[in-house]
Homo-oligomer: A and B are copies of this chain.
Amino acid sequence: MKIDVYGLLEKVRTQKPVIHHLTNWVTIYDCANIVKVFGASPVMAHAKEEVAEMSKIASALVLNIGTLTVDFVESMKIAAKSANEKGIPVILDVCGAGATKLRDEKCFELLDEVKINIIKGNSSEVARIAGENVQTKGVDAVAVEKNLIEIAKGLAKKRNCTVVITGKEDIICDGKKTLIVKNGHQMMSNIVGTGCMATSVIGTFAAVENDLAIASASGLCCFEIASEIAVKSSNGPGTFKEALYDSVFQLDKKTIEKMSKIEIL
């Protein structure tokens, strides 16, 4: 199997899909902007009176519980039901799962009440959603003892979805195949927002490719190649973040084919 990463990027740039978000208030700008810079069209809307209608004009729905409230999750459910009806992919970033009971409960409610097509988080967040007994520390990942690939595979089968665990190497599993993305740079973890942006990128690629594991891996691969390039033209986390947008915008076929490191297990 050969993954045509650049081909999917071209589809994003050509089709310019609308990506509807209900996300957190910390990184909402960066979620919108990364989608825009990839060439797609972000829309952020959370009023319960309009989310169903907005999801109907979108090609993917991104949910992120980073600054959740009970009401906000109700809006997520309405949006997700609308997305389910239309048949567009729903991506859930289980941001901060394991940190509080509310986060765990609301993730499980979402997973039980609507169809989530892609679950995305860091190692400890996803482990918690998979039923492992981990206590996360805020929104940063903590060590997980059990084999992460096994956790991803188990959760993917249990929830009949694609699972993405981001980290030094990203694990993507749809229950059958497992992909590993080995791109990226340590600098990404020195700033706030790269995790949330990655979820928005996954949503963007899921809008143009039905195989959600391939979509997720391709999106992460592009985003992380851009980060590798951005590090070279920046002096630290501040200039890195702006260079990251520049690099995403300039990604071309040659660069992607030369730098992409996706492994299929």
Contact = CB atoms under 8 A, between A and B. Distances in A.
Identical subunits present = 3
Interface in A23-48: 24-30, 32-33, 36-37, 41-47
A70 B99 contact: no
Task: Label chain A's interface by main secondary structure.
Answer: mixed
Contact of A26 (B28, B50, B246, B249): B28
A144 interface: no
A250 B190 CA distance: 12
A235 B140 CA distance: 31
A210 interface: no
A149 interface: no
Contact of A41 (B26, B47, B138): B138
Interface residues on A, range: 35 or more
B18 A249 contact: no
A97 to B, nearest CB: 12
Interface of A: 16, 18, 20, 24-30, 32-33, 36-37, 41-47, 49-50, 53-54, 57-58, 66-70, 96, 99-103, 137-140, 190-193, 233-239, 241-247, 249-250
17 contacts: A16-B140, A33-B193, A36-B190, A36-B191, A36-B192, A36-B237, A37-B237, A41-B140, A42-B139, A45-B67, A47-B67, A47-B70, A54-B99, A54-B138, A235-B250, A238-B241, A242-B242
